[in-house]
Amino acid sequence: MHIFFAALFMLSSISKIVDFQDFHLAIKQFGIIINKKVIILCAYLFVISELFISLLFIFFTGHWLTYVSAISIMLTFTIALLRVILDKKKISCYCFGKSKKQTNVHVAVVRNTSIIALLLVTLLFTSPAELNVFENLNIMIAVILFSVITLISKEFLFDQGGSSFESSQ
C-alpha cells in the first residue's frame, strides 16, 4: 500500500507542477483564500507537501508521521470540497491535473474519504519497514516514472477527447 500512496501523492504533485499556473487559479476558485500572494504561497505549499508525503511513503514506510501528514492534507482538500458543496459552487479542482470538465465535487469527497479510510486502515496494520536506501531509490524512480507516464498518457487522451478518469475528478 505504501507504494500506492507514494504514487498517488507523486502523481498529484507532478500534475500540479506541470500546470502550476492553472493549479493556483483552481485554488482561487474555492473562494476560501482571497489574497493572490497567499493563494500562490498555498499552491507552492500543497505541491511541496504532496511531494514530501510521497517521499515519506517511499523512505519512511509505516512511520506515523507519514500517515498523519497524508491524512492532514487529504482532510484539508476534503474540507475545501465540502465548503464548495455548501456554497453550491462549480469548480475544477485540479486534483490530478488539467481537465476539460468541472469536478464532480460529491465524487471527489467520496474519493478523498475513501483514501483517508485506506490511510487509517494501513496505518493500523503496517509496521515500520527497515530503511534500505538502494531499494527505496528504485521504488522512488519507479513511482516518478509511473507518475510521468500517467500524466503523458492523460494528456494524450485529453487531446483525443478525454478519458473516463477525468470524468470522475
pLDDT at 114: 93
What number of CA atoms fall less than 13 Å from residue 102's CA on the CB side?
A: 9
Q: What is the mean pLDDT of residues 142-166?
A: 67
Listed residue (158, 74, 163) closest to 115, CA to CA? 74
pLDDT more than 70, % of the chain: 78
pLDDT digits (tens, 9 = 90+) for 13-68: 988 888 888 887 888 887 778 888 988 899 899 999 999 999 998 888 778 888 99
Q: What is the pTM of this model?
A: 0.77
Per-residue pLDDT band at 75 (split at 50, 70, 90): very high
**No. of helices (H) and no. of strands (E), the chain:** 7, 0
pLDDT at 133: 65
- Is residue 159 predicted with pLDDT exceeding 60? no
pLDDT at 51: 93
What would the 3-class secondary structure string for 14-68 be? Answer: HHHHHCHHHHHHHHHHCCCCCCHHHHHHHHHHHHHHHHHHHHHHHHCCCCHHHHH
For 3, residues 6+ apart whose C-beta sits below 8 A from its C-beta are 57, 58, 139, 142, 143
Q: What is the mean pLDDT of residues 74-101?
A: 77
